[in-house]
Chains A and B, each alone.
Chain A
Amino acid sequence: MRHFAALVLILALLPASVHAADVTEVPPGVSSEALKAFKRGLELHRQQKWEAAIPEYERAIALGGRFPEAFNNLAYCYRKIGQVDKAIELYKTAIALRPLFAQAHDYLARAYLAKGDRAAALREYEIVRRLDAKLAACLWAAIQRNDPDYHDMPWNNS
C-alpha cells in the first residue's frame, strides 16, 4: 500500500509533458555562468513560463556562445509565444552548431508545420527518421494530424 501511495505521489509530482533539451554535461566552450542561466531558463521552461524563460536562454547564449541546447530551447519558447519565424531561425542555428541534433530537427519540422509549410516539415522528418525512430514516429503523427504540438505517443504517457 505504501509503495502504491509512493507511486501515486511520484506520478502526481511529475511535471507536465514539456519538451525541452537538458544538458547533462557542460558542452565545450560553454561557461559555468552560461550554464546557470540555461538552468534557470529550463526551470521556467518546465513551468511553461515561456516569456520569462526567453531572457535566461538569451543570457546563456550571450555568455556561452555556441550552445545548441540554449538555441533549441529559446526557439521553442519563441514558437510557443507565436513568433514562428524567429523560432525557425534559432532552430537552424542550433542545427548549424550540432547538425545531428534530432530534437532540434523535430522542433524545426513542427515550426514549419505551424507555419503551414508541410513540404519543409517533411524534409526535416526525413532527417529525424534517420536519427531517432521514436521521435520520428511521433513527428509523423503530428504531420499527419497537421498539429505541431501533437506528442501523444504511448511512451510519452508512461
Chain B
Amino acid sequence: MLHGYLKLWGGEHDRTVALFLTVNLPQPELLAWFIGTLEFLGGVALLSGVLMRPFAALLALEMAVAIYRVRLPQGFIGGWEFELTLLFVCLGLALASPWRPAAGT
C-alpha cells in the first residue's frame, strides 16, 4: 500500500516511469499510474479482506513480471529474493480457500 502511495502521490512516479522505460515496458506513463493504483488498492484489499483474492492474483502477476523483467540479472540474494517471497505470499492468498471452521471446533 505504501509503495502504491509513493508511486501515486509520494514523488516516485517519475522513477517508476524511468524504470519501465529502462526495461522496455509498453505505455510506461499509463502503466506507472496503473501499478501505483494496483499496489495501493491491493494493499487496502489485503488488509481489509475485501476483494482480496483478485487483488492478490494481480499483485502476484506484478511480482512475476518484476522478477522476469527487472530483477533476474541482479541475482537471487539481494536481487529477486524479496519479490519471490511476495509472489508466493500473494499466490497463497489468491488460491486460499475461504475460511471454514475445522470439524469439532
Taking Cβ atoms with an 8 Å cutoff, the residues of A that contact B are: 28-29, 65-66, 93, 95-100, 105, 123, 126-127, 130-131
Contact = CB atoms under 8 A, between A and B. Distances in A.
Contacts, number: 39
Contacts of B51: none
Contact of A99 (B14, B22, B75, B78): B22
A26 to B, nearest CB: 12
Given A28-B77, A126-B21, A127-B21, 17 more contacts: A29-B77, A65-B75, A66-B79, A93-B73, A95-B22, A96-B74, A97-B74, A99-B22, A99-B23, A100-B15, A105-B22, A127-B18, A127-B22, A130-B15, A130-B17, A130-B21, A131-B15
Q: How large is the interface on B (under 10, 10 to 19, 20 to 34, 35 or more residues)?
A: 10 to 19
A99 B73 CA distance: 10
Contacts of A97: 73-74
A100 B75 contact: no
A65 B77 CA distance: 12
Q: Name the prevailing secondary structure of the B interface residues.
A: helix
B78 A28 contact: yes
B65 interface: no
Contacts of A93: 73
B19 interface: yes
B93 interface: no
17 contacts: A28-B78, A29-B78, A66-B75, A93-B73, A96-B73, A96-B74, A97-B74, A98-B74, A99-B70, A100-B15, A100-B18, A123-B21, A130-B14, A130-B15, A131-B14, A131-B15, A131-B18
Interface in B9-33: 14-15, 17-19, 21-23
